[in-house]
Amino acid sequence: MSKIKVMDEILANKIAAGEVVEKMMNIVKELVENSIDAESNEIKIELLDSGTKMIKVSDNGVGMDRNDSSLAFSRHATSKLSSLHDLFNISSLGFRGEALPSIASISKVLLKTSNQKEGTIIKIEGGKIIENTPSDLQKGTDITVTDIFYNTPVRLKYIKNLYTELANIVDYVNKMALSYPHIKFTLINNGKTLLKTDGSSNLLKVIYEIYGKDVSKKMIEIRGENEDYSISGYMSYPEVSRSNRNSITTLINGRLIKNNELIKMITDAYHTYIPKDKFPILILNINVDPILVDVNIHPTKMDVKFSKIDMLKDLIKETIQQNLKKLILIPSATVRSSFSINEVEKNQEKELVKEDNQKEVNTIILEEDNTFDIKEEQVTYNEGKIIEQTSIEETIENTPYKIKKMIPKGIVYETYIIAENEEGMYIIDQHAAAERINYEKCLHSLLNPKVERMNLFIPISLEFPTNEFLIIKHNISLLESIGFEIEEFGMNTFIIRTHPTFIKEGREKDDILKIFQLVASNETFDRAKFIDHTAATMACRMSIKGNDYINLEEAEFLLDTLSKCDNPFNCPHGRPTIITYTKYELEKMFKRVMD
């Protein structure tokens, strides 16, 4: 007797539902995507108890006739594909024909739809159609899903708490609103409106609705293109960052996707502008010929594969970094409206009394020819959009923004330089400022084909574990290209006879060991990242620290050199170097001016 049997359709749909429907958000996602494919410009999502009791999605799309509304719940039934050629030119959000039958197999569904010629009501329980009757001719489709997992109770155990389910749904609907600003989205849970957009096609307005006024003021529009890709969207100032990557919204031809390579490229483009554990807010829509992407990777259709992804990465990085260089990135200090005497006294009690000991003066040795001129464009912004952009070549009168000379007036806590100019007052972190200067100096030296070298009077011997020794040996040409002269010496040991000049005298062995360890920690080696990491590491080690004493003359030299850096606003690790109070903010704090 044959043991292999063909599963009936309801059982197959329940199995498929395990991939398509993991949480309430998956149901919302599939229904909303169907509404978008139906050319809707108004979509309303109503929930009861975060969707666990009811999910209803209503739209004003093209609707379906009676025959199509029945076939829609059959497995692999779709209006999006008709041939193999269509599979490689997908422009719709849905195409697999699995979502509706999977949802219907584990819930109770009520469908009301009309194409203005024919209206239909269909009721389904556990995948079986129990009612199919005519309805009115109001254009559009309403789908109500209730009693989710009523016939697969074991799945209910994996549903997280209501707040988590609701947070997932809100996050998804927010991203769809950002993806389709021309569609009016409304999200309601237990009668409370959580999101409402106006469908005006103004993406910045949607950003305002989701993130609020403060964030929307710190967003700028971006655009770029090459032979195969074009990108558009909005990116945040570096000071507006989040602790997770969830605020990075990436779209491919309007489809919301998750691609770790793209997210990594975006965060790499913000390198040295934000700390490595922070992420920007960014909405990026990528337009490309559908034949260059494969969205048929996973039932959720959120994972995609790109052809010519290196061209896309270069375009994204170049576009983001060009816009970052146009910004004035000195954050304003937070102005507190009032504070109590008790709070001041409490903070004073926490301060430690320090002895007035004379400290060794640590100075930064910088040659004048190691500074860098700023080359930018003058850009005028209005509500985050570029409204005027003038290149330096077009006019001599319009000069790019450059930090005006800051005159140091004092140093507090032996860490922060207080300076001023006609625009306001500045607080500069002396270590962060020195790091930025030395980082650009080291980076310039490492990228210079004629690296300056220094011979060691006594060669340095370094021994490594076998695995690290093999990785270093494989990349020894890279180390030689940045100024090292290296020889193998016995088992797992290197002899270093020459090193680049940026390594600080007296700490040669420690600094060289650190660089070799950076090489050993990367089995899949990236030369550009290694050089950048090396420059940042050396800059940190060779710079003055907090609590290191410098006088006002040294502080002035530090500030003058900082103002000539490519990016004077952040240290290599993304921390701000400068915070400012404008003259107006100071006068407002002291009530010299009133709003």
The CATH number covering residue 31 comes to: 3.30.565.10
- Domain hosting residue 468, numbered range: 328-333+361-595
The pTM of this model reads: 0.61
Q: What is the pLDDT of residue 295?
A: 60
- Three-state DSSP state, 114: strand
In a domain, 347, yes or no: no
pLDDT of residue 368: 33
**What whole-number distance in Å separates Cα of residue 454 and Cα of residue 506?**
13
DSSP string, 409-467: EEEETTTEEEEEETTEEEEEEHHHHHHHHHHHHHHHHHH-SS--EEEEEEEEEEE--HH
The CATH number of the domain where 311 resides is what? Answer: 3.30.230.10
Q: Cα(500)–Cα(486) distance, rounded to whole angstroms?
A: 12
Tell me the residue type at 36: I
Position 392 in a domain: yes
Distance (Å, whole) CA 523 – CA 473:
12
Single-letter amino acid code for the residue at 354 = K
The pLDDT of residue 594 is 66
31, 56: one domain: yes
The whole-number pLDDT of residue 456 equals 83
Is there a single domain that holds both residue 70 and residue 173?
yes
What pLDDT is attached to residue 146?
92
Question: How many residues in total does the chain contain?
Answer: 595
User: Per residue in 403-439, pLDDT tens?
Assistant: 788 888 888 888 899 998 888 888 988 888 888 888 8
- Verify that 369 and 478 share a domain, yes or no: yes
Q: 308 and 375: one domain?
A: no
Domain contains 562: yes
Question: How wide is the angle at C-alpha 337 spanned by C-alphas 335 and 338, nearest 5°?
Answer: 125
Predicted pLDDT at 397? 37
Q: In whole angstroms, what is the distance from residue 319 CA to residue 323 CA? A: 6
Cα-based distances in Å from 109 to 75, 100, 106, 311: 16, 10, 9, 45
pLDDT of residue 340: 36
Residue 371 and residue 307 in one domain = no
Q: For residue 547, give the 3-state DSSP assignment.
A: coil
Let me know whether 47 and 173 are in one domain: yes
Q: What is the CA radius of gyration of the chain?
A: 30
Look at the alpha carbons of 104, 110, 115, 117 in this order and tell me if their dihedral is positive or negative: positive
Strand, helix or coil for residue 136: coil
Out of 325, 353, 370, a domain closes at 325
For 188, the token pair is 């309601």
Residues 314 and 416 in one domain: no
- Within the chain, which residues score under 50 in pLDDT? 11, 13-19, 80-92, 94-97, 296-301, 334-400
